[in-house]
Amino acid sequence: MNLRQLEHVVALAEEGSFARAAVRVHLSQPALSRSIQAIEEHLDMVLFDRSTREVRITPAGQTVVQRARKVLFEARCLLRDVDLLKSHDLGSVNFGSGPYPAAMLLPAALDELAQSHPNLRINATVDNWKNLLELLHAEQLDFLIVDIRGVPSSSKLETVALPRHRAAWFVREGHPLTGHDPIEVQQLSGYPIISVPLPEAMRESLRKWLRFPPKQEMEFHLTCNDVNVLREYARKTDALLLLTEQTGWERGRSAGLVALSVPSRSHLWLQFAIVHLAGRTLSPAAEQAIMAIKRAAAVKPA
């Protein structure tokens, strides 16, 4: 039994078809069938139930596939560590970011990296947290920056919380609410809310803060992964946009928007976290990028 055979077992389990699995591992169907048969004979157990329509994994097969994934992951980590030991060059970093941290942390972090490591190649993917987690688990990203409430509890992930940032509602200059001081939370309900797609936990927290009745759903007028699009929309409408107070001193990006003063017994907070795969060594490039992001997150508004 070797790593290649384990790859064949995992591919067949995930694809559920010899035809699709064969394409994935670049083998003919007969060759893949022989490989699966060989590992079943070696283990002396049936891993898959075959039929004319589909392939179903057996309970024994599920156990083998679960362990095989771990073995293959460790093997890839070993090769990665060897490559990192051979090269001290920063090279490149691939990371993902949710829309909010991309707007609030990346400008300062990328500026620092451009100054300190001008030859570092950076690929930053901005997307919602669900898609980013899939890319992370597929080992296509080194790490993520997402809202901490969107990170599932898992032994496969290592999570480092960043400092919290107090949130604020932003509206256009001349918005009807800017003439009220202070503003009651109930007054916000009369205006459309725009936002990036939120994790369910964060959405529920916001719904409670806005004092929606228990069974009343909170609907967004507009959701978009691009915070700059949301800013522009807020400048031209009466929509309410939730950002952090840090945004208030980003003069160029937030021109035309003002923060509302909404007294409340509890403040709204945004808290981001850096997430990477547990047991996978970070490259020097990823470590430098994470340090720059941590410094950007630690900066307090003036």
The domain tally of the chain equals: 3
Tokens 């688990």 belong to 137
Q: Are 30 and 61 in a shared domain?
A: yes
The Cα–Cα gap between 130 and 119 comes to 31
Pull the structure tokens for residue 127: 């997307």
Q: Are 149 and 288 in a shared domain?
A: yes
pLDDT over threshold 90, residue 61: no
Ranges of H-type helices in the chain: 3-15, 18-25, 29-43, 59-86, 99-104, 106-116, 129-137, 185-188, 200-209, 227-236, 284-298
Q: Are 169 and 265 in a shared domain?
A: yes
- Which of 31, 66, 85 is at the close of a domain? 85
pLDDT at 124: 94
Q: What is the CA radius of gyration of the chain?
A: 24
The Cα–Cα gap between 244 and 264 comes to 16
Q: Are 241 and 177 in a shared domain?
A: yes
Q: Are 145 and 265 in a shared domain?
A: no
The Cα–Cα gap between 295 and 109 comes to 8
Omega within 30 of 0 (cis) for the link into 182: yes
- Which of 63, 85, 107 is at the close of a domain? 85
Least reliable range by pLDDT among 118-127, 244-253, 274-283: 244-253
Q: Are 175 and 43 in a shared domain?
A: no
The CATH number covering residue 127 comes to 3.40.190.10
Region 265-285 average pLDDT:
83
The Cα–Cα gap between 134 and 203 comes to 21
Q: Are 24 and 50 in a shared domain?
A: yes
pLDDT over threshold 80, residue 52: no
- Which of 35, 70, 85 is at the close of a domain? 85
Pull the structure tokens for residue 214: 């228990």
Whole-model pTM: value is 0.67
pLDDT over threshold 90, residue 110: yes
Range of the domain at 57: 3-85
pLDDT at 302: 45
Q: Are 100 and 53 in a shared domain?
A: no
Q: Are 103 and 233 in a shared domain?
A: no
Mean pLDDT of the chain: 84
The Cα–Cα gap between 206 and 268 comes to 8
The CATH number covering residue 59 comes to 1.10.10.10
Q: Please tell me which residue, 180 or 209, carries the higher pLDDT value.
A: 209
At 243 the three-state DSSP class reads: strand
Least reliable range by pLDDT among 7-21, 177-191, 228-242: 177-191
